[in-house]
Amino acid sequence: MPTSTERRFHGIELSRAIEGLYDAFEAYPLRTLIDFCPHCQLDAAERQLQARPLRELGWADLRAYCPKAITAFGDAADFKHFLPRILELYVTDHRGAPCCLFVTFGKLEQAAWASWPVEEVAAVRTFIDAWKRVLANRARESEDAAWELDELKAALIAL
């Protein structure tokens, strides 16, 4: 069973990794108009993404965007803008996610994330490693954390 010091350390490490994501991707601003497939009728969803600052967006705001990112809603630069918040929400509200983590990690592959600038790739890897450690510690005490860890491990196959 993890000690309270271990839990605290891993929590701090994960918080720093999330901040690292925001720092690494801050160069990708929210565009005034995000391109989307005209057949998908995403006007309202696009407006919802513009309604509040990135760190205040919730799953309800990102519900239409997440499964359609890159393929029908925005491009890789748009995905990079939203990525820190999406990953943070998986940590804080995993069950509320509009799509499974495997889909989101598939979006990373579609965006050719391994060819991104080194600091962006490092930020994603640091986040994943920190999240994995937190979930591994929590999985000893929580079925939800064990389920999330299994989903994370399965999603890593997409990378």
Q: List C-alpha distances in Å: 96 to 1, 20, 60, 100, 120.
A: 27, 23, 9, 10, 26
When pLDDT is averaged across residues 19-46 and rounded to a whole number, the result is: 82
- Report residue 6: phi and psi, to 5°: -60, -45
What is the average pLDDT value for the chain, to the nearest integer? 89
- Three-point CA angle 42, 43, 48, nearest 5°: 95
Confidence (pTM):
0.91
Q: Would you kindly state where each structural domain of the chain is located, as residue ranges?
A: 4-156
Each residue of 63-122: pLDDT tens digit?
989 998 998 888 999 999 999 999 999 999 999 999 999 999 999 999 999 999 999 999
Residue 37: predicted pLDDT: 63
Q: Are 23 and 123 in contact (CB under 8 A)?
A: yes
| pLDDT bracket for residue 21 (50, 70, 90) | very high
